[in-house]
A = this chain, B = another copy of it.
């Protein structure tokens, strides 16, 4: 049988209450504390976290719900979240929704059953709207995608500004027929699209935006169709790293030199984007800071549940590379 606090108490010649206090923080004399610690070593006692959680009504657990951990953006964010959590003595339960509202709902129910301390959540548009604070017993921090204003804390990118900056750069390089391929499921993609359209309007250009499921395969298929059409764009803005990859594959498949026949600009400064030729112009997101900020917001909310809702807006950093250089050869030259 497993060794419990009872056995430690017996070995140390004290009550279970004293053992509990010696292990946690409670008023215990130094003498007894040492006795208890010796007994713990002797017995090899390890506390049972389930029991502790039940009694103390504090699970020290947070939920992290994202679309797909294989998306490098979420990978990086989740690593930052987990580091912060473990450092604060908390556990993380990670859930992948695949952008599916049904699974989101299921995982939120799971969070309720786990009695989590809080949740960090990258919701689809549907769930972001539907999640009323009254329905859940824990605070939620939205990341990447914000919900309706004022309902939950959130940390997001200034998506409109970032998309706008990409358009400005492309226009400055002389591109005119600039299309945009945006994810269909997230508010983030919506905002990027809005920023794109606003910037196009500002430059007096006609926007041409299309929506696509945010994965490389779907993006490649849609971009492939688009590039085969008559009035195909001479530049494309892609709303995340997976779509960017899909678009690049489509350009390769159609043998369109980048940026000679097609310029590409996207989001997420993944390690490979400067290894391809030409390097890809992207908006770099401060992934680690997004995760860390989300944890900070969550901890603050736990400390002061009634403080006003906060929204942290971080700026993306444009990383300009060959894929948007007007004069550059289509491919083959290395900078």
Contacts and interface: CB of A to CB of B under 8 A. Distances in A.
A69 B291 CA distance: 14
A322 to B, nearest CB: 12
A96 B70 contact: no
A322 B81 CA distance: 39
Contacts of A72: 70
Contacts of A25: none
Interface string A84-114: 0010000111111000000000000100111
Interface string A304-318: 000000000000000
B96 A79 contact: yes
Nearest to A270: B272
A70 B59 contact: no
Nearest to A106: B86
B245 A271 contact: yes
Contacts of A70: 72, 75-76, 79
A49 B115 contact: yes
A112 to B, nearest CB: 5
Copies in the complex: 2
B79 A115 contact: no
A14 interface: no
Nearest to A333: B332
Interface stretch (A27-35, A50-58, A185-193, A222-230): A50-58
A173 interface: no
Contacts of A59: 50
A57 to B, nearest CB: 9
Nearest to A71: B75
A68 B46 CA distance: 26
A272 B271 CA distance: 9
A181 interface: no
Given A54-B54, A69-B79, A248-B275, A48 B113 contact: yes
Contacts of A245: 271-272, 275
Contact of A49 (B2, B79, B113): B113
Residue among A75, A96, A331 with the highest chain B CB neighbour number at 10 A: A75
A94 B92 contact: yes
B46 A113 contact: yes
A249 interface: yes
A115 B48 contact: yes
Contact of A75 (B75, B83, B95, B115): B75
A205 interface: no
18 contacts: A2-B137, A48-B54, A49-B114, A50-B53, A68-B79, A69-B78, A91-B114, A92-B93, A245-B272, A249-B275, A271-B272, A272-B272, A272-B275, A272-B276, A276-B277, A277-B331, A331-B334, A332-B333
What 6 A-B pairs come out closest when comparing CB atoms?
A272-B272, A50-B53, A332-B332, A50-B54, A46-B112, A277-B277
Given A49-B115, A69-B79, A277-B277, 13 more contacts: A46-B112, A48-B113, A48-B115, A49-B114, A50-B50, A50-B53, A75-B75, A245-B271, A245-B272, A272-B272, A275-B275, A276-B277, A277-B331
